Amino acid sequence: MMVRSGIFGVLALFLVIATAVPVIAAEQVSILEQSMSETLDLWREGRYEQLFERLAHRGRTSREVFVKKMRDTSIRPACCWQKMEKFRILNEKRTEATVYAKLGLEGTATPADSSTREFKLTHEEGIWKMQLADVFSIAGVTGKKTGHSSKKSKSLSSPYHN
C-alpha cells in the first residue's frame, strides 16, 4: 500500500511539473506581447509623453520633439483585435527580443492598412520597450529635422528635375 501511494505521489509530481513548464513559456510570450500591446495602446490614446517613456533607443530625440511629431501624424494603431495579430517571438535573450507581428493601422490612405514586420524589443527599467525608430517608421514620421525634408521636396519640384 505504501509503495502504491509513493508511486502515485511521484506520478502526480511529474504531472504537475510537466504541466507547469508550458505555462512558464506561455507567460514569457505573454509578457512580451502584453508589453507591446500596452505601448500601442498609449500611442492609440494619444498619450505621447507616456509613450516616449516606453520606447528604447531614443537617441537625441527629446520628449517635446517626439510629442510634436506624433501629434502631426494621423496614423495610429487600430483598436481591439486588429491592433496586433500573428504575434510570434523570433529570438529572445535577457535584454533583447525580436518579435514578428501584424499591426493594424488607422489614419492611413487606405482604410484597412497594416504593417507586418519584425520588431526589436529591449528590456530596460523592468519592462520590454519598442524602438522609437519603429514607431516613427510606422507612423510615417521621419527622424530628420523638417528643414532637411523641405529642401529635398523643393529640389524635387524644381523645373530642372526629371
Q: Which residues, 6+ apart, have CB-to-CB distance to 69 below 8 Å?
A: 136, 139, 141
Flag the least confident range among 32-36, 108-112, 113-117. 108-112
Q: CA separation (Å) from 27 to 5, 10, 95?
A: 33, 26, 16
Backbone angles phi, psi at 154, to 5 degrees: -65, -40
Domain residues for the domain of 79 are: 28-144
Q: How does pLDDT run across 13-58, given as a tens digit for each residue?
A: 554 455 544 445 445 447 999 999 999 999 999 999 999 999 999 9
Contact between 103 and 115 under an 8 Å Cβ cutoff? The reply is yes
User: Could you tell me the CATH number of the domain that includes residue 113?
Assistant: 3.10.450.100
Q: pTM here?
A: 0.71
What pLDDT score does 30 carry? 77
Asked, for residue 162, whether it belongs to a domain, the answer is no
pLDDT in tens, 50-103: 999 999 999 999 999 999 999 999 999 999 999 999 999 999 999 999 999 999
Domain assignment of residue 56, yes or no:
yes
Residue 99 lies in a domain: yes
When divided into structural domains, the chain yields a total of 1
Task: Judge whether 155 lies within some domain.
Answer: no
Distance CA(130)–CA(32), nearest Å, equals: 10
Q: Under the phi-then-psi rule, with left for phi > 0, alpha for psi from -120 to 50, and beta for the rest, what region is 59?
A: left
pLDDT at 142: 75
Phi, psi of 112 (to 5 degrees): -115, 75
Give the cell for residue 4.
502504491
19 inside domain? no
For residue 54, tell me if it sits in a domain: yes
pLDDT tier at 110 (50, 70, 90 boundaries)? confident
Phi, psi angles (nearest 5°) of residue 31? -65, -45
